Amino acid sequence: MTQDSTADWQARPRVSLRLVAQAAGVSIATASRVLNDGPDKASAETVLRVREAAERLGYRPGGAAQALRRRESRIVAVLAAALINPVMATIVASIGHALRAEGLVMALCDTHEDAAIQDDFLTEMQAQNARAFVLVGAVDSPGLTRLRAAGAPLIFVNRPDPGPAPGGAYVGIDNAAAGEALARHVLALGTQRAILLHGSLERTAGTERARGIRAAFAAVPDAELIAVEAPGLDQLTGGLQAMAQVLSLRDPPRAVLCLSDALAYGAWRGAREAGRQEGFDLYGFDNLLFNDWVAPWLSSVAVDPAAFGPAVLAQLPAPRAGSRCFLPHRLHLRPG
Amino acid sequence: MTQDSTADWQARPRVSLRLVAQAAGVSIATASRVLNDGPDKASAETVLRVREAAERLGYRPGGAAQALRRRESRIVAVLAAALINPVMATIVASIGHALRAEGLVMALCDTHEDAAIQDDFLTEMQAQNARAFVLVGAVDSPGLTRLRAAGAPLIFVNRPDPGPAPGGAYVGIDNAAAGEALARHVLALGTQRAILLHGSLERTAGTERARGIRAAFAAVPDAELIAVEAPGLDQLTGGLQAMAQVLSLRDPPRAVLCLSDALAYGAWRGAREAGRQEGFDLYGFDNLLFNDWVAPWLSSVAVDPAAFGPAVLAQLPAPRAGSRCFLPHRLHLRPG
DNA sequence: CTCCATTAGGTAAACGATTACCCAACCGCA
DNA sequence: TGCGGTTGGGTAATCGTTTACCTAATGGAG
């Protein structure tokens, strides 16, 4: 009655290794060896015949069968904390691009900073024999702990491992150094007092940025740093509300150091709606693409997003726990 | 010497169906039937035993083996034309979320509007037995033509099939209607003359938006619409350069209708840098998330990005060629 | 009591690739 | 001529699941 279920649109029969081998007049084993192990495993003439047959038939190795036999697929699991954040989206694009150049495929999930979603995806990807796990903004979760303990290949991007002990490689800027550099620049302008506008400090990147900024301010006698917390998960709204606090200060400092551009966007709206946008100098992190176009008032710590892909790729073969690849950052100052 | 290669970190032995069957004291076949075909294929007691065993052992079906046997994996190929565009990134996130709720996995590729990259990914995904192909901004390409001809499940999102005849379902706004609505609004304000600022009209979405706008203007006697083309692929830079043209007009119209918010961002920068940002009313499409925060001067046609995921999902089972699912859009006017 | 239909579940053949193992042919050398 | 080493390539097992097919048991009808 019901015959073997098949995606009906697929070309039948599939161009399988067997077909190639038949066309070349060799056994499947030989064909596989030639195609995978290079030309040293067979006579030059055989190599040629097999290659030609594969080419002619348009052979593509079936991903599923390969993944089954080698216990490893060409899929790399990539988790992003919030694709709504353009900088993460760009990083993800860069990673995807680098992976594809190696013949790998990016499976992507937006975790919305939710541990349950993250774990769900990690488990699913493990069931798919994912080759590695790239976490662009990981949250701590039981599933992550499990993988860490199992020694799975983990790469943390842009936000170091949130766990107690780092379980994989890190790729991203040196957040503490970047924070310190930003703060030093601000101080060098003669600033004595500044706002540190931060979101939830549970995110490791933010913590480190704040640490660097604090260190720089602590190094200058009489310099004062007023920390203001932006409430909630949404950085834009949080920045807006935090700015309200700042505006209510008796003598608010001019310099406002935001731990991300999104916070700065929110803060700027707050200032603008109060008609006081001229009263502040805003600083951020990430240097969102649109800054030059619609937020020229913002200075920001910039990283080249295209640098992430190759850096992640470099860690892929064997991400050693605790290894860190720091990408260069620079301060992108607002014109004028 | 070299033993069977294995991702060494993987828990060995894998919790396979055989293990579950053994634990439940049934054959593999029975276990599979219970887990896949529902409880009607075995006695209530057997069902219970199998389910319990699977649960206890933490069984997850191996994606590779499933994909091999059923010729269909749980992977859905998603191609985005430019993840750097926040609206596409958000749409992609929405699609990914909806897919995951169905137990599907999103494999993502940023094509950069490049036919070669698109084809490469399509081919690779076909080799992985992808269940469907979702194209968020497709370009025409030989590979796409091939899939279309083969009757592959194609879903075009946000930009209709660029090919001569639609080969899959479409999900997105009714671009022509949206353009017409926007133009009518502008005309209703008493505007007689306006700029139509467009990028390359090879993109189907843009073409349709322009068509709608032109239709609305044509319906009003004496209304004048001046088309200005933004050169190049980068809409931001293109908008900037196009605005230079506009600024050089003897008596430029106040209203500037841009076919995307990115173009509008570029145009605004052009106006601002000339000190003439007060002289124009800008309109766009997409209503980027950041508009309310840093581009309050922009009115834009908005769609709820979260609507894309469910709509795509609805088309998934069998995307019929030519079927269209129009998402609602509304005009998001700038405050004041 | 016999016979047929139904149900429960086991057996084994796929799916497409990789690879351990084996065999045959050939080489050079004593 | 006999022998060990190398090379080229075939055979078959295996990865984990699905499912066509078969068997045995059970129940009801005649």
Contact call for A128 and B64, based on CB within 8 A: yes
Give 3-state DSSP helix, strand, coil % of chain B, rounded to 5: 45, 20, 35
What integer pLDDT is reported at residue B101 of this predicted model? 96
What is the spatial order of strands in the sheet that A298-303 belongs to?
A: A224-229, A193-198, A255-258, A281-285, A298-303, A329-332
CA distance A77 to A126: 9
B86/B56 same-domain check: no
Pairing of strands A298-303, A329-332: antiparallel
**CATH code for the domain of A229:** 3.40.50.2300
Q: What percent of chain A has pLDDT over 90?
A: 88
**pLDDT given at position B3:** 45
Residue of A nearest to B317 (CA): A7
For residues B325 and B307, the answer to whether their CB atoms sit within 8 Å is no
pLDDT confidence of residue B143? 97
| Residue of A110, A127, A268 lying closest to B63 (CB–CB) | A127
Last residue of a domain, one of A61, A93, A113: A61
pLDDT at B223: 96
Whether residues A196 and A299 share a domain: the answer is: yes
Q: Is residue A185 part of a domain?
A: yes
According to the model, what pLDDT value does residue A9 have? 84
Report the share of chain B in percent with pLDDT over 70.
Answer: 98
Residue B320 touches chain A, beta carbons under 8 Å: no
What percent of chain B shows pLDDT beyond 90?
A: 88
Collect all residues of chain B within an 8 Å Cβ-Cβ radius of residue A126: 60
For the cut 90, the answer to whether the pLDDT of residue B39 exceeds it is no
Is it the case that residue A138 has pLDDT exceeding 60?
Answer: yes
Lowest mean pLDDT among A3-7, A325-329, B269-273: A3-7
Question: What is the pLDDT, as a whole number, of residue A203?
Answer: 77
Instruction: Verify that A54 and A87 share a domain, yes or no.
Output: no
- Considering the domain architecture, whether residues A254 and A225 belong to the same structural domain is answered as yes
A1 pLDDT band (50/70/90 cuts)? very low
Cα–chain center distance at B177? 19
Alpha carbons B243 and B268: distance in angstroms, whole number: 8
User: What's the whole-number mean pLDDT along residues A301-319?
Assistant: 96
A68 within some domain: no
A39 pLDDT tier (thresholds 50, 70, 90): confident
- The answer to whether residue B66 sits within a structural domain is no
pLDDT at residue A3, rounded to an integer: 45
Query: Does the pLDDT value for residue B165 go beyond 70?
Result: yes
B45 and B92 both lie in a single domain = no
Distance A15 CA to C13 C1' (A): 21
Judge whether A269 is closer than 8 Å to chain B, CB to CB: yes
Rg (CA), chain A: 26
Q: Inspect the interface and report whether the beta carbons of B68 and A84 lie closer than 8 Å.
A: no
In a domain, A7, yes or no: no
Q: How far is CA B242 from CA B183, B272, B275, in A?
A: 20, 14, 16
Residue holding tokens 């006081």? A276
Do A54 and A197 have their domain in common?
Answer: no
Q: Is residue B289 part of a domain?
A: yes
What is the pLDDT at residue B1?
A: 39
B107 near B76, Cβ under 8 Å?
A: yes
Please give the tally of structural domains in chain A.
3
Angle at A36 between CA B150 and CA B141, to 5 degrees: 30
Residues of B in contact with A72 (CB under 8 A): 5-7
* Mean confidence (pLDDT) of chain A: 94
Supply the pLDDT for residue A19: 96
Task: Grade residue A6 by pLDDT with cuts at 50, 70 and 90.
Answer: low
Q: Is residue A322 one of the residues assigned to a domain? A: yes
| Residue A334 located in a structural domain | no
Name the burial class of residue B59, with classes exposed (0-12), middle (13-18) and buried (19+) by CB atoms within 10 angstroms of its CB.
buried
CB B275 within 8 A of CB B303: no
- Listed by range, residues with Cβ under 7 angstroms from strand D are A 2-5, 25-30, 40-43, 45-46, 65, 68-69, 71; B 13-14, 16-18, 28-29, 32-33, 35-36, 59-62, 65-66, 68-70
Q: Are the beta carbons of B100 and B162 closer than 8 angstroms?
A: no
- For residue A255, is it left (φ>0), alpha (ψ between -120 and 50) or beta? beta
pLDDT in tens, A81-101: 999 999 999 999 999 999 999
Which structural domain range is residue A314 located in? 75-173+306-327
> What local confidence, expressed as pLDDT, does residue A182 receive?
98
Residue A7's pLDDT band, with cuts at 50, 70 and 90, is low
Confidence of residue B9 (pLDDT cuts 50, 70, 90): confident
Instruction: Quote the CA–CA distance of A322 and A233 in Å, as a whole number.
Output: 28
Q: Which residue of A has its CA nearest to B237?
A: A293
**Domain end call among A30, A61, A92:** A61
Q: Give me the pLDDT at residue B13, please.
A: 78
Residues of B in contact with A8 (CB under 8 A): 151
Q: Are residues A246 and A274 in the same domain?
A: yes
Q: What is the pLDDT of residue A307?
A: 98
CB contacts of A293 in chain B (<8 Å) are: 236, 265-266, 268-269
Residue A240 confidence (pLDDT) above 50: yes
Nearest to A287 by CA among A298, A271, A278: A298
Shared-domain flag, residues A298 and A151: no
Bridge partners of B106? B76
* Pair B170, B323: CB distance under 8 Å: yes
Report the CATH number at residue A35. 1.10.260.40
Contact B294 A265 (CB under 8 A): yes
A123 shares its domain with A149: yes
Task: Render pLDDT for A154-186 as a digit per residue (tens, 0 to 9).
Answer: 999 999 999 998 889 999 999 999 999 999 999
* Alpha carbon of A217: minimum distance to chain B alpha carbons (Å): 29
Taking an 8 Å cut-off on Cβ atoms, the answer to whether B108 and A96 are in contact is yes
d(CA A192, nearest CA chain B) in Å: 28
Question: What's the rounded Cα separation, in Å, for the pair A125 and A121?
Answer: 6
Q: What is the pLDDT of residue B91?
A: 98
Inter-chain residue contact A93 with B70, CB threshold 8 Å: no
Which residues of chain B does A97 touch, with a Cβ-Cβ cutoff of 8 Å?
A: 110
- Whether the pLDDT of residue B61 is over 50: the answer is yes
User: For residues A189 and A208, what is the distance between their CA atoms, to the nearest angstrom?
Assistant: 23
Based on the fold, state whether residues A159 and A268 are members of the same structural domain: no
Whether B269 and B248 share a structural domain: yes
- The CA distance from B254 to B70, in Å, is 60
Task: Tell me what pLDDT residue B5 has.
Answer: 52
Summarised one tens digit per residue, pLDDT across range A266-297 is 999 999 999 999 999 999 999 999 999 999 99
Write down the mean pLDDT value for chain B. Answer: 94
Q: Which of A11, A100, A289 is the closest to B84 by Cβ?
A: A289
Gap from B6 CA to D10 C1', Å: 25
Do A209 and A267 fall into the same domain? yes
Q: Say how far B129 CA is from D19 C1', in Å.
A: 19
- The answer to whether residues B17 and B61 touch, using CB atoms and an 8 Å cutoff, is yes
3 state DSSP class of B152: coil
> Using CB atoms, which residue from B9, B64, B293 is nearest to A67?
B64
CB distance under 7 Å to strand C: residues: A 13-14, 16-18, 28-29, 32-33, 35-36, 59-62, 65-66, 68-70; B 2-5, 25-30, 40-43, 45-46, 65, 68-69, 71
Asked if residue A280 is part of any domain, the answer here is yes
Rounded to an integer, the average pLDDT of A56-61 is: 96
Q: How high is the pLDDT of residue A13? A: 78
Q: Using one digit for the tens of pLDDT, what is the confidence trace for B84-109?
A: 999 999 999 999 999 999 999 999 99
The pLDDT value recorded for residue B7 is 66
**Which residues of chain A neighbour B272 with C-beta distances below 8 Å?**
296
Closest-CA residue of chain B to A109 = B96
Alpha-carbon gap, residue B261 to B279, rounded angstroms:
18
